[in-house]
C-alpha cells in the first residue's frame, strides 16, 4: 500500500470514529448535512455511513436509516430488554390510530380526506394529539375551495415505528386485519412511494399566519 492510499485509509477511519461518536451522542436521528459539519465537505459521507452500518450489523446496536436521517438503535431482537417506560401511558384511541394510518397511507391528506375514509367526523383533538406526539405535521394547503390544510407524517413517525421509509409500511390488508382501518377504502388509497417532504402539484405552502394546531377548514 502506497503512502497516499495509507493516508486516505487513515482519514476514513478518523471520519468513521467521528461519525460514530456524533451519532451515539445525538438524542435524535441526524441528516447527512448535519453530519458533514463534523467530517468536512470533502468526505464521502454516504460511503462512510454504509461502512459504519455494516460494522454494526449483528451487534447489540445497529445503525439505521429513518427517512433521510441516521441513528443508532437497539437491535430489533433485543428491543424487549431495553424498553423505556413512556411518560404518557394512555394508549392511542382507535380514532387516533385510524387517523394516523390514513395520513400515513394517503398523504398529503386533509381532514375531509380522513373523514371520507373513516366515515365519521374527526375531532380536532385527535389531530392535535398526533401533532403533539411529533408523528404528523402540517404540510401545506390543498388547492381546493377553502384551501384546507394537508397533513403528512414525519421522520419521528418513521423512527418510532422502526421504518426506513414509507415504502416499508405494512400492506393495507394487514392494517385492516389488525382493525386499524375500515374495510370501506377509496380506490385511490395506495401504499405511497418513499416521500421526500416536497409539496405536490395540488398543494400550496402554508400561510404565514398558520398555527401549529388543527385547521378547522375541511
The domain tally of the chain equals 2
Residue 216 has pLDDT above 60, yes or no: no
| Pair 21, 45 in one domain | yes
Mark whether 140 and 178 lie in a shared domain.
yes
Q: Are 138 and 199 in contact (CB under 8 A)?
A: no
| Band of residue 182 on the pLDDT scale cut at 50, 70, 90 | low
User: Could you tell me if 18 and 106 lie in one domain?
Assistant: no
65 and 114 within one domain: no
Quick one: 33 and 117 in the same domain?
no
* Residue 216 counted as domain residue: no
Q: What is the predicted pLDDT for the residue at 85?
A: 44
**Across 62-71, 147-156, 183-192, least confident range:** 183-192
Final residue before a domain boundary, out of 32, 48, 82: 82
Find the domain containing 67 and state its range: 9-82
Q: Which residues 6+ apart lie within 8 Å of 100 measured at CB?
A: 92, 130, 135, 136, 153, 157
Out of 24, 53, 82, pick the residue that ends a domain.
82
For the whole model, what pTM was predicted?
A: 0.61
pLDDT value at residue 107? 86
Residue 103 sits in the same domain as residue 75:
no
Cα–Cα dist 76/61, whole Å: 9
Expressed in percent and rounded to 5, the helix, strand and coil fractions of the chain are 45, 15, 45
pLDDT of the residue at 81: 60
Residue 130 has pLDDT above 60, yes or no: yes
Cα 202–Cα 207–Cα 208 angle in degrees, nearest 5:
155
More confident call, 201 vs 212:
201
What average pLDDT does the segment 136-162 reach? 89
Answer yes or no: is 88 within a domain: no
Amino acid at each position: 500500500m502506497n503512502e497516499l492510499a495509507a493516508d486516505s485509509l487513515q482519514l476514513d477511519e478518523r471520519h468513521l470514529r467521528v461519525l460514530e461518536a456524533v451519532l451515539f451522542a445525538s438524542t435524535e436521528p441526524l441528516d447527512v448535512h448535519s453530519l458533514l459539519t463534523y467530517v468536512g465537505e470533502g468526505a464521502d459521507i454516504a460511503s462512510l455511513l454504509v461502512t459504519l452500518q455494516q460494522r454494526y450489523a449483528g451487534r447489540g446496536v445497529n445503525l439505521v436509516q429513518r427517512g433521510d436521517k441516521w441513528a443508532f438503535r437497539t437491535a430489533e431482537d433485543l428491543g424487549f430488554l431495553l424498553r423505556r417506560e413512556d411518560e404518557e401511558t394512555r394508549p392511542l384511541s382507535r380514532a387516533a390510530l385510524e387517523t394516523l394510518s390514513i395520513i400515513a397511507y394517503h398523504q398529503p391528506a386533509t381532514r375531509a380526506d380522513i373523514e371520507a375514509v373513516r366515515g365519521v367526523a374527526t375531532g380536532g383533538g385527535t389531530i392535535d394529539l398526533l401533532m403533539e406526539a411529533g408523528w404528523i405535521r402540517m404540510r401545506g394547503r390543498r388547492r381546493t375551495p377553502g384551501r384546507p390544510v394537508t397533513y403528512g407524517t414525519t421522520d419521528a413517525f418513521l423512527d418510532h415505528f422502526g421504518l426506513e421509509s414509507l415504502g416499508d409500511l405494512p400492506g393495507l390488508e394487514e392494517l385492516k386485519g389488525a382493525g386499524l382501518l375500515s374495510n370501506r377504502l377509496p380506490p385511490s388509497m395506495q401504499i405511497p412511494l418513499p416521500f421526500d417532504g416536497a409539496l405536490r402539484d395540488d398543494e400550496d405552502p402554508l400561510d404565514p399566519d398558520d398555527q401549529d394546531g388543527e385547521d378547522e377548514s375541511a
